[in-house]
Structure 1
């Protein structure tokens, strides 16, 4: 809602002061007096509490300042557009033109335009998916990497952003590896940037059980094709003997039904020790 957003945006000027809100939305004039019938209206009204304002309706034809550009007299309308230009672009094109390997591919494509997938020739230059092709050992590549990564425009971005900027217009063999190695070797990035993720700790091994069917591991295998109505498997494995059971399940199943199936298929076969520990530690939790 524009009214709420505008008042919140200028709240540091409007709090504690009486002000007038002009709008061409006539129903907003009665917003504070009407009966609220939707949760959205209640939320908006709660955000306006504490402000002292009056809403005044202004018809569209009187609100000339809002769309002054669309009401200007017909005539010549000029704009000034600025855009960056690459000063070394001519040198790069001259280098591509003088490269023998690229010119050989251009000659082959002139004979057979469909001979190399993705490559085409435009105005005597070789393009791959509409990107200018450079020789992989071109002396301009280090300059390009520095321009797209180390300059204020590049902003020392990471590998992916630097690669995407270059890949918009350029292509050479081994481009991803070259960009990755350059970013990894950047001295500023290595000094100033830090890893934002918490380093992984050491693995904590589980204690080794001393009795079979004392410590079990359970897991579900999902997404199986239906067979007689079954489409999931509950896998129960004894951690000491590595003996396992596979119990078929049908959707939908709950924690209570799985617990009952565990008692029926596992506890029934492997003694009362599991049953006692299971009922005390897991039965109520699964049922809930």
Structure 2
């Protein structure tokens, strides 16, 4: 389609296209290739394994036998911190008491002493802990920087804490499948149309531009007009400037403005 657009543009000119071999076009090669220089110096930096493991919140414990570390097991340190900080959160302590009396069916208190909402850990009201959880869900090497809704869905699988209704993630239904426009097969058969309003008034009193763009070649007409043009005058302007030059079009794409959806179409 890109080549077709160029053909539609060039066919209006009397020109001769001459092939220029790529190996002869040294100017384009110089612009498109990186310069090759000599290496002056190279400095190698050794990254320590301990630093990489520390960024993953992995704890290493050496045995007294001083044997080489051949394997290790990763255990998140958030669970222990959550258990310790739950005892300092008054609301969670009250929930624990209600759970023991079987008055909170959605909350459970297992043998490990950690309060859970169903299967999710109840995070206490500690700013540093919650900030670390958010950073882990967004900035870790396995998170790939998700958006707010994706990060919320990842966190809610394992953690729970009470929040205000004003900071809830998106909860509306998923949008329907997009319906892309078909690719035009010829110029000035399918166009788009819109208005640019709020412009300074000209000497002739015009303060609006009607923009009509061909979807294939992207060539456009910019028609000055007044904002208070009637539908009959808009239709007359469309016939005089567009239909006269390009013929009757197949489709017109516009927004859901009432001028386009009803009055303008009836005027045509």
* TM range, smaller chain: 0.3 to 0.5
Q: Give the TM-score of the pair, scaled to structure 2.
A: 0.35
| More RCO (CA 8 Å, sep 6+) | 2
**Larger Rg: 1 or 2?**
1
Q: Give the TM-score of the pair, scaled to structure 1.
A: 0.33
